[in-house]
């Protein structure tokens, strides 16, 4: 009956040990899977940084193009027409067949439509909105990535803790198993000692069995310790290897990101330099146009002043001539008036001379 109890305990201990081995293997597989997911999330985070750089580059280039385009627009329709005509002339000079002339004419008609011309504020607002959406998207993705990394890290720590607890429980189970085996052997020794009539022989057998058991136990413990140490060393080497691989991936991704950033910055500088050159050319053209307008305005002002001076001189001359004519007319009128008065006086004298004797006769 006692042996049955020992057998049941051994079977239960073996089942428990097997279950612990399966649980430890499952936790190790889960730990490797979680560490792989953690590495994948880190790699995805690096790729996300590269994609954000490309998106930012596109947004900055779009903003620069929009602002430069509206800054390059002249103040009147004639300057805009002249710029487009110059661009069309340059393209037509490069195409001997003249096939691009119609294309640029259509482009000019399309761009000169009032509905196609948007104000600078609207374009800048749209660019700012695109950048804000991209920034919000990056922040959301980073928060989600950080949350996922935190959850995975917490899960990895929990799995490691469970694995260590299971390993400790397995060691405890092994110790209990060895203790029960020792008790069983001790019981067997006691039975053998009882059956043996010779106390000396019993003591020798017990001493021999104990020595053998201790040797076996030491050998078993040594083997188990060596296996555990080898397994720990293997796990440590795997961890170091995975850590080194992860560091190498991070370093490669960082170098790639720096290269992409350098390429993006170079392209952005080239684009900005091109737009600055174009702006300087347009500004120079506008300055020459303004100088021409100023010169034409000065010439027009001089011509107007000259015509005005000629007009004033003509008016002055006409006034003098009119004054002379008026003076002559006044002199002529005065002379005619004097002549008329003298004629009237003469006629009056004559009439008085003719009527004089008649009046005396009547008296």
Reply yes or no on whether the pLDDT at 187 is more than 80: no
- Alpha-helical (H) ranges within the chain are 2-71, 77-94, 99-111, 120-195, 199-362
Per-residue pLDDT reduced to its tens digit, 256-306:
989 999 999 999 999 989 999 998 998 899 989 999 999 988 888 888 888
From the list 28, 33, 116, the residue with the least C-alpha distance to 73 is 116
Mean pLDDT of all residues in 66-94: 42
pLDDT at 97: 47
Give 127 or 116, the one with higher predicted confidence: 127
Reply yes or no on whether the pLDDT at 254 is more than 80: yes
Reply yes or no on whether the pLDDT at 119 is more than 50: yes
Give 15 or 46, the one with higher predicted confidence: 15
Read off the pLDDT band of 313 (50, 70, 90). confident
Give 103 or 285, the one with higher predicted confidence: 285
From the list 168, 182, 180, 163, the residue with the least C-alpha distance to 12 is 180
Average pLDDT of the chain to the nearest whole number:
74
pLDDT at 143: 81
Reply yes or no on whether the pLDDT at 354 is more than 60: yes
Neighbour-count burial for 297-330, b at 16+ CB within 10 Å, e otherwise: eeeeeeeeeeeeeeeeeeeeeeeeeeeeeeeeee
Read off the pLDDT band of 91 (50, 70, 90). very low
pLDDT at 263: 92
Give 116 or 96, the one with higher predicted confidence: 116
What percentage of the chain exceeds 90 in pLDDT? 4
Reply yes or no on whether the pLDDT at 103 is more than 60: yes
pLDDT at 82: 39
Give 252 or 59, the one with higher predicted confidence: 252
Are the CB atoms for 260 and 50 separated by under 8 Å? yes
Reply yes or no on whether the pLDDT at 2 is more than 70: no
From the list 143, 158, 90, 80, the residue with the least C-alpha distance to 112 is 80
Reply yes or no on whether the pLDDT at 312 is more than 80: yes
Mean pLDDT of all residues in 103-109: 66
Mean pLDDT is lowest, of 59-73, 92-106, 285-299, for 59-73
């Amino acid at each position: 009956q006692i042996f049955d109890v020992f057998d049941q305990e051994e079977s239960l201990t073996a089942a428990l040990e097997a279950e612990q081995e399966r649980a430890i293997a499952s936790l190790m597989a889960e730990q490797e899977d979680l560490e792989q997911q953690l590495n994948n999330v880190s790699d995805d985070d690096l790729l996300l940084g590269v994609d954000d750089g490309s998106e930012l580059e596109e947004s900055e280039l779009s903003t620069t193009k929009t602002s430069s385009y509206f800054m390059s627009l002249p103040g009147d329709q004639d300057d805009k027409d002249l710029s487009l005509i110059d661009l069309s002339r340059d393209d037509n000079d490069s195409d001997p067949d003249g096939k691009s002339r119609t294309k640029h004419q259509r482009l000019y008609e399309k761009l000169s439509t009032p509905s196609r011309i948007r104000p600078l504020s609207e374009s800048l607002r749209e660019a700012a909105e695109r950048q804000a959406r991209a920034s919000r998207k990056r922040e959301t993705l980073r928060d989600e990535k950080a949350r996922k990394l935190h959850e995975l890290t917490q899960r990895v720590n929990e799995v490691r803790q469970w694995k260590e607890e299971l390993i400790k429980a397995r060691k405890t189970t092994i110790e209990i198993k060895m203790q029960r085996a020792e008790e069983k052997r001790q019981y067997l020794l006691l039975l053998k000692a009882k059956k043996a009539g010779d106390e000396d022989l019993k003591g020798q057998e017990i001493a021999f069995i104990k020595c053998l058991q201790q040797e076996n136990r030491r050998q078993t413990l040594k083997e188990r310790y060596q296996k555990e140490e080898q397994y720990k060393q293997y796990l440590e080497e795997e961890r170091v290897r995975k850590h080194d691989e992860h560091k190498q991936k991070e370093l490669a991704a960082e170098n790639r990101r720096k290269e992409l950033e350098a390429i993006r910055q170079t392209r952005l500088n080239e684009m900005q330099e091109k737009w600055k050159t174009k702006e300087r050319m347009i500004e120079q053209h506008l300055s020459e146009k303004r100088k021409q307008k100023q010169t034409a305005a000065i010439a027009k002002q001089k011509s107007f002043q000259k015509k005005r001076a000629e007009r004033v001189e003509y008016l002055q001359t006409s006034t003098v001539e009119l004054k002379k004519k008026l003076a002559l007319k006044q002199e002529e009128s005065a002379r005619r008036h004097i002549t008329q008065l003298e004629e009237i006086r003469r006629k009056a004298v004559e009439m008085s001379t003719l009527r004089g004797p008649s009046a005396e006769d009547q008296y």
